[in-house]
Amino acid sequence: MAVLVTGGAGYIGSHTCVELLNEGEQLIIVDNFSNSKPEVLDQIRTITGKDFLFYKADLLDREAIRKIFAENAVESVIHFAGLKAVGESVSLPLWYYHNNITGTLILCEEMQRAGVKRMVFSSSATVYGMNNPVPYREDMPTSATNPYGWTKVMIEQILKDLYTADPSFSISILRYFNPVGAHESGLIGEDPNGIPNNLTPYIAKVAKGELSKLTVYGDDYDTEDGTGVRDYIHVVDLAQGHLSALKKLRTETGVSIYNLGSGKGYSVLEVVKAYEEASGRPVPYVIGPRRAGDIASCYADPEKAKRELHWQAQKSLYDMCRDSWRFTEKK
């Protein structure tokens, strides 16, 4: 029996595939490479020394997805595939709703048709919106400020409704905080096209000399040094969280929601300092205006995952910066 990983060639998916193969799981990856490269698949094989099945397919292509379930004994699905750029989702909302929501609907329908009832879904801390107090707990109300965020809120609801209608499903909704870092081999990591939107990929390019300086989006927030505070989590810790969720899915039915974060917040300037230390390179910055849609602080209450999944983040901010730099240097 195999685990089907959608979006397995992507950033978080590829790291999770490495951990699954290391655990001896049989794997099938499906990806359309809309935001990843085929080379990643070879890197996964190199790191693990193990093989897996791969289908180049789009979740919107129902026939292709049906064929995957028909040809394989799939036991569970880890569903990463989706578009994730906040700014792009504002300019292309219909494309985001179609890809993320229709893609998930087709996947769930084909799972149900094939009798596959276990799913781990990639949600995001973005569903906590702008108005909840930190630390965020799983039972707080959800909302969003952009179409990307709404796709996560809506898919969470769809999955809860699916379970209500068919209680033989077992679904784990994982709300990631800020995934950063790379595999320690330096062979896989986050490699966005063009100028990065997110903090650590941007810093990595500044440290490498590909961009001249970082703009810090605001230093007048109500935080210790005035810059934004986030809960950064090493992507390998995050990947291992999926294994813990999968283990639990296999023992019960239901829908459970878990924060995957460290529970600790770091400011933009603390991240800059850690990256300079880990890379041995300067990261020049200027203070700019706040970015629309940003909040002062965002960090998890990670207790539920600790209690029920027996999982907690292990790696430090220094580890995240060191591994991000190792990957960046190799590129």
Cβ atoms of 229 and 296 within 8 Å: the answer is yes
Q: Which is nearer to ligand NAD, 128 or 163 (CB)?
A: 128
Cβ atoms of 260 and 238 within 8 Å: the answer is yes
Could you give phi then psi for residue 57, rounded to 5 degrees? -155, 155
Of 43, 76, 124, 328, the one binding ligand NAD (CB under 6 A) is 124
Q: How far apart are CA 91 and CA 127, in angstroms?
A: 20
The window from 25-33, 219-227, 261-269, 311-319 that contacts ligand NAD (CB under 6 A) reads 25-33
Of 34, 91, 157, 215, the one binding ligand NAD (CB under 6 A) is 34
Interaction partner, residue 259 (ligand NAD, ligand UD1, none; CB < 5-8 Å by kind): none
Interaction partner, residue 263 (ligand NAD, ligand UD1, none; CB < 5-8 Å by kind): none
Of 26, 35, 172, 262, the one binding ligand NAD (CB under 6 A) is 35
Of 117, 175, 183, 230, the one binding ligand UD1 (CB under 6 A) is 230
Say whether 318 is catalytic.
Answer: no
Size of site (CB under 6 A) for ligand UD1: 20
The window from 17-25, 103-111, 289-297, 306-314 that contacts ligand UD1 (CB under 6 A) reads 289-297
Judged by CB under 6 A, does residue 179 bind ligand NAD?
A: yes
Partner residues linked to 30 by β-bridges? 6, 55
Could you give phi then psi for residue 261, rounded to 5 degrees? -150, 175
Which uninterrupted H or E stretch holds 87? helix 86-91
In angstroms, how far is the first alpha carbon of the chain from the final one?
Answer: 36
Distances (CA, A) of 214 to 133, 269, 318: 28, 11, 19
The window from 19-27, 90-98, 195-203, 300-308 that contacts ligand UD1 (CB under 6 A) reads 195-203
Of 52, 69, 80, 128, the one binding ligand NAD (CB under 6 A) is 80
Please state whether beta strands 266-267 and 229-230 pair in parallel, antiparallel, or not at all (unpaired). Answer: antiparallel
Q: How far apart are CA 53 and CA 36, in angstroms?
A: 17
Judged by CB under 6 A, does residue 155 bind ligand UD1?
A: no
Please tell me which residue in 148, 202, 221, 266 is annotated as part of the active site.
148
Cβ atoms of 44 and 18 within 8 Å: the answer is yes
The window from 74-82, 210-218, 287-295, 315-323 that contacts ligand NAD (CB under 6 A) reads 74-82
Give the residue among 252, 112, 240 at the shortest CA–CA distance from 170.
252
User: Which segments within the chain are labelled E, that is strand?
Assistant: 2-6, 26-31, 53-56, 74-79, 118-124, 170-176, 178-180, 214-217, 229-230, 232-234, 254-260, 266-267, 285-288, 297-298
Q: Which residues contact 150 (CB under 8 A, 6 or more apart)?
A: 97, 144
Which uninterrupted H or E stretch holds 95? helix 93-96
Judged by CB under 6 A, does residue 320 bind ligand NAD?
A: no
Cβ atoms of 258 and 173 within 8 Å: the answer is yes
Judged by CB under 6 A, does residue 191 bind ligand UD1?
A: no
The window from 44-52, 57-65, 209-217, 248-256 that contacts ligand NAD (CB under 6 A) reads 57-65
Interaction partner, residue 60 (ligand NAD, ligand UD1, none; CB < 5-8 Å by kind): ligand NAD
Q: Report 112-151 residues binding ligand UD1 (CB under 6 A).
A: 124, 126, 149
Active-site residue numbers?
148
Positions that interact with ligand NAD (CB under 6 A): 7, 9-13, 31-36, 58-60, 80-84, 99, 103, 122, 124, 176, 179
Positions that interact with ligand UD1 (CB under 6 A): 86, 124, 126, 149, 178, 197-199, 202, 214-217, 228, 230, 268, 291, 293-294, 298
